[in-house]
Amino acid sequence: MAVLLQIQNAHKSYGDQVLLDGADATLIDDVKVGFVGRNGAGKSTLLRVLLGEEELDAGEVLPHPKLRVGYLRQHDPFLPGESALDFLIRDSGQPDWKCGEIAGQFELKGAYLEGPVAELSGGWQTRVKLAALLLHEPNLLLLDEPTNFLDVRTQILLEHFLRNFREACLIVSHDRAFLKATCTHTLDLTRGKLTMYPGKIDAFLEFQKERREHDIRVNATVQAKQKQLQRFIDKNRAGANTASQARSKQKQLDRLKTTEIEIDDPTAHMRAPIVEPRHGPAVRCEDLTIGYPDHEVASGIILEIEHGERAAIVGDNGQGKTTLLRTLVGSLDPKKGNVRWGYGCEIGTYAQHVYTTLPKDQTVLEYLEYKANPGTTNQQILAMAGALLFRNAHVHKKISVLSGGERARLCMAGLLLGTYNILVLDEPGNHLDVETVEALAEALLKYKGTVLFTSHDRHFMKRIATSVIEVRDGQAKNYMGDYDAYLYAMNKEIDDGERELNARKAAATKPNGKPSKPVAELSEKDHRKLRKEITNIERKIARLDEQKRELNEKLLATTDPDEALRLHNEIEALSEELGEAEERWCELNGT
């Protein structure tokens, strides 16, 4: 175990806002650390300091001479027209076979590797960036909210990658399930102090809670003792015989100190627009084709979304969720067919990349003033800003210096100040800390309007969705029913689909396989042996089938990525075994 990097007595402030206040931390090689803290605590700022992009006001960062930092870039480093493979070769200077090999770890093959990288969806581009990162062979990876914009599959892939990665990582994330699946240590930044905890996020949160409860108990005892001593002192101070005793008690009293209990940081409070509930269809799509001039994403879409529904749009990265949303809100023209909104629908949109949509030079207050309805008083705007935790001097900050979570919060505030009866939210939970996502969920559950949203946060989806629209393989389908119903339906599809695939595989491999002995040519003994083997195999198939069904059910029920990955791997192994067994059964039956 060697020290990779030390942060000593670090101080950093912006104006009167203190981010680091005598913070210390040590990063050791091979250790994976989840970096947590509320929105605006200063996590990204500390990462920028570690990368040398920002200076501390005081204190030091001491790197080991062998430290090689790898950083997952948020902006796109690609050149126009470049393929993923070209980019990897250019970026890393490694030979193409090496680039291809590492890319393969992220399932980057064929058109994904050789087609123009700029045309890939966000999730696939992240895979390319991860491969590039690895080709530089870093011994410390810094990742700032890597799961934003990743679909569940890419998230699981990233978890897998991080678990197999043998070097150190420092990962900023608000996604506790992701941190739990990838990190063994937790680094917390609260009120300017760093705390390294040698355990996973859950254990850390539990530890924090227990420590606070312990402090509260100790304080209660101390306060009781203080009262008792004070009473004694008051009573006996003046007495000739008791004054010296009172003085000694006074000394005892002076020594008794209560521990300062940290109160929770305030949480953002959100309130969705108050609108009249309505009935009937909010939007209808008839034979809609969506896509771009030279690229069709999905066609034959027939959809109807009722007023008051909260529809989740799901699908892997690149399948077209954002394209569908953009077409629905009219920022992209349909290639064919049409989108019809009901009378009086007022649509408020929350775009996926908040960074690009906010005017960077405006201040928080100017932005809110510009977004508010005419007639909104200054006081109302300030109250709204305060509810979203922009207080005092904070409201005069320029948007360009806001943290990821603060920008997301501001965008959301702009939207909620309106009177929209339809909210279209593309990944609204990205960048927000757990407490703020919770506040948003509460607000949406009380909202009487219609919500169309995408989210890769399974908890959020489960809480909010009343129906699920899946975009996949060039089609969009409305699964009428909540997220659980969708998972059930998907489970069944996977089951049925795999069984069919296995049967096809068995049939296809047969002609090239070893020719089986014609049944007629077998002796009686051989016959018996054959029948026994067939019976055994049938039992095995039934058993494997049942196990697989149970695992699939668990997989779809779980919201813990750690567990999901384990189940996924188990199912893969089972499917393979099942495939082999079915193949053998076909062989023995001469089919």
Ligand X SMILES: Nc1ncnc2c1ncn2[C@@H]1O[C@H](COP(=O)(O)OP(=O)(O)OP(=O)(O)O)[C@@H](O)[C@H]1O
- The binding site for ligand X (CB under 6 A) comprises 14, 17, 19, 37, 39-45, 397, 401-406, 431, 433
Task: Name the minimum Å distance from CB 126 to ligand X.
Answer: 17
Counting contacts by CB under 5 A, is residue 146 touching Mg ion? no
Among positions 32, 34, 37, 44, the unique one binding Mg ion when judged by CB under 5 A: 44
Span near Mg ion by CB under 5 A; candidates 78-86, 152-160, 371-379, 396-404: 396-404
Binding residues for Mg ion restricted to 398-417, rule: CB under 5 A? 403-404
Task: Name the minimum Å distance from CB 38 to Mg ion.
Answer: 11
Q: Token pair for residue 367?
A: 């932005």
182 and 34 in contact (C-beta within 8 Å)? yes
Could you tell which of Mg ion, ligand X, none binds residue 39, using a CB distance below 5 to 8 A set by kind? ligand X
Could you tell which of Mg ion, ligand X, none binds residue 226, using a CB distance below 5 to 8 A set by kind? none
Could you tell which of ligand X, Mg ion, none binds residue 41, using a CB distance below 5 to 8 A set by kind? ligand X
C-alpha torsion sign, points 376, 278, 354, 182: positive
Identify which of residues 399 and 476 has a Cβ nearer to ligand X in the complex: 399
Could you tell which of Mg ion, ligand X, none binds residue 192, using a CB distance below 5 to 8 A set by kind? none
Q: Which helix (H) or strand (E) holds 20?
A: strand 17-28
How many C-beta neighbours within 10 Å does residue 551 have? 17
Identify which of residues 185 and 397 has a Cβ nearer to ligand X in the complex: 397
Task: Name the minimum Å distance from CB 402 to ligand X.
Answer: 5
Tell me the backbone φ, ψ of residue 269, rounded to 5 degrees: -120, 130
Identify which of residues 404 and 428 has a Cβ nearer to ligand X in the complex: 404
The residue whose two tokens read 């695939």 is: 501
The residue whose two tokens read 């510009």 is: 370
187 and 196 in contact (C-beta within 8 Å)? yes
> Which of 298, 276, 296 has the alpha carbon at shortest distance from 287?
298
Where b means 16+ CB within 10 Å and e means fewer, 258-275 reads eeeeeeeeeebebebbeb
Task: Name the minimum Å distance from CB 591 to ligand X.
Answer: 59
Span near Mg ion by CB under 5 A; candidates 29-37, 41-49, 246-254, 380-388: 41-49
Q: What is the DSSP string of 105-160?
A: TTT--HHHHHSBGGGS-HHHHHHHHHHHHHHT--SEEEEESTTTT--HHHHHHHHH
Identify which of residues 350 and 483 has a Cβ nearer to ligand X in the complex: 350
Could you tell which of Mg ion, ligand X, none binds residue 45, using a CB distance below 5 to 8 A set by kind? ligand X
Could you tell which of ligand X, Mg ion, none binds residue 406, using a CB distance below 5 to 8 A set by kind? ligand X
The residue whose two tokens read 């981010």 is: 19
Identify which of residues 258 and 267 has a Cβ nearer to ligand X in the complex: 267
Tell me the C-alpha distance between 40 and 424, whole Å: 26
Q: Which helix (H) or strand (E) holds 323?
A: helix 321-329
Identify which of residues 145 and 426 has a Cβ nearer to ligand X in the complex: 145
Q: Is 37 helix (H, G, I), strand (E, B) or coil?
A: coil
Task: Name the minimum Å distance from CB 40 to ligand X.
Answer: 4
Identify which of residues 4 and 268 has a Cβ nearer to ligand X in the complex: 268
Could you tell which of ligand X, Mg ion, none binds residue 37, using a CB distance below 5 to 8 A set by kind? ligand X
> Which of 399, 373, 368, 398 has the alpha carbon at shortest distance from 383?
368
Amino acid occupying residue 452: L
Identify which of residues 3 and 401 has a Cβ nearer to ligand X in the complex: 401
Interacting residues toward Mg ion by CB under 5 A: 44, 403-404
